[in-house]
Structure 1
Amino acid sequence: MTFVVPFDGSKLADTSLVRAVEFATALEEDVTAVTVVPERKRYAREKGWIEEGEPYDVEEVIETLRTRVNSLAPTATFDCERIREFPPEAQIAERIERLVRDHDPSVVFLGSENVGRVVTPLTSVGVHVAGDRSYDVYVVRQPHPVAIDAIEPHADFYSGEAP
């Protein structure tokens, strides 16, 4: 089994990765973080990867995300797909879904405030990833430690001391 985390460096993605590691430690499973990085400056700004007017260095963003994954989950693997074209966001979500499936996950840990709502944007990665029935989805909606006795929370992450 592999636990897969779509990772974009957001707070909920950070929490999803930490949560996946907590469960993986208890269940002796592997964790893989997956990222799709398009060469779209606007998308990079929306994700908080660059500021307005800042130059967009795709390789630097990939390395920053890789470093973040490694700092939160040193035993996790990182898989990134760079998209050279400029697809609409729905196609980016589909690429993330395909990358998730490439790892044959048993559970996908998804940080999302949208999944499960009656009205969800069609471009939401969560809609695409959560809709696949070949794996379970653990939706992380809050950045708090889990309240399951068998799962040991990463205290430094939840106390705000994480890198």
Structure 2
Amino acid sequence: MTLVVPFDGSELAEAALVRATEFGTVFEEDVLAISVIRNENAKYARERDWIGPNEEFDLETVVTSLHEQVMDLCPSSDFRHTVVDRYAPAGSVAKAIRKMAKREDASMVFIGSENAGHLVTSISSVGGSIASDDAYDVVIVRHRNPSKIAQLRNTSPHRQSKSDFYLPE
């Protein structure tokens, strides 16, 4: 089984990748970051900061940049990409992600999205479509910063430094 992270280089995708890697360590599962790239679509690439404002679209440059970003964040993860047509219809990115997740036998998909899972999702969000597939569990990462679980655990009044009862041998 594999933990899959749709990765577009955004801060929330980075956070989702880090969280998936933490889960992967605990559950001893591989982590796979997947990117879907609209071929020859410079506007789409610029909107995601994959290329600079005056750069021409170059697929190899985009893939290399995303791969390096993934490896910088989580060197133990794997990376794959797929390419869709530059004029692919709405939903094609989410469809490609779902297809890759199924092919990789994903047990969980970690989505970095501010609005995935809400009752109303934006048309541009792939999160809602990916989250609707029941072939895998979905973890939605809505915040860039780590959760406060460790902080809460350390300040809990129910946590004691040592046992206050004796267990016979």
| TM class, shorter-length | 0.7 to 0.9
What is the rounded CA distance, in whole Å, between the counterparts of 2:9 and 2:86 in structure 1?
22
Contact 1:21 1:73 in 2 (8 A): yes
CA distance in 1, matches of 2:76, 2:64: 17
**Alignment partners' CA distance in 2, 1:143 and 1:102:** 28
Q: CA deviation at 1:118?
A: 2.3
Between Structure 1 and Structure 2, how many residues are aligned? 149
Assess if the C-alpha contact under 8 Å between 1:90 and 1:124 holds in 2: no
* Superposition TM-score, scaled by structure 1 size: 0.84
Give the structure with higher Rg (CA): 2
Instruction: Indicate whether 1:25 and 2:42 are aligned.
Output: no
**Aligned partners of 1:6 and 1:35 also within 8 Å:** yes
Q: Which of structure 1's runs of 4+ aligned residues deviate more than 4 A?
A: none
TM (normalized to structure 2)? Answer: 0.81
Alignment check: 8 A CA contact 1:108 1:136 kept:
yes
| 1:32-59 alpha-carbon deviations (Å, 9 max, x no partner) | 1111111111211221212333211111
Per-residue Cα deviation, 1:2-43 (whole angstroms, up to 9, x for no partner): 110000111001110011011111121110111111111121
Determine the structure 1 residue equivalent to 2:153.
none
Question: Residues 40-119 of structure 1: matches in 2 within 5 Å?
Answer: 40-119=41-120
More relative contact order in 1 or in 2 (CA 8 Å, sep 6+)? 1
The corresponding residue for 2:142 is 141
Post-superposition Cα deviations, 1:92-150, rounded to whole Å, max 9, x if no partner, equal 2211221222211111111001112222134421012101011111100001123445x
Matched to 2:79, the amino acid is F
**CA distance in 1: counterparts of 2:131 and 2:139, whole angstroms:** 9
Q: CA RMSD in A?
A: 1.6
How far, CA to CA, are the matches of 2:60 and 2:69 in structure 1? 14
User: Aligned equivalents of 1:79 and 1:103: distance in 2?
Assistant: 11
CA deviation after TM superposition for structure 1 residue 65, in Å: 0.5
Q: Taking every aligned residue pair, what percent have the same amino acid on both sides?
A: 44
**What residue number does 2:129 align with?**
128
Cα distance in 2 for partners of 1:84, 1:116 equals 27
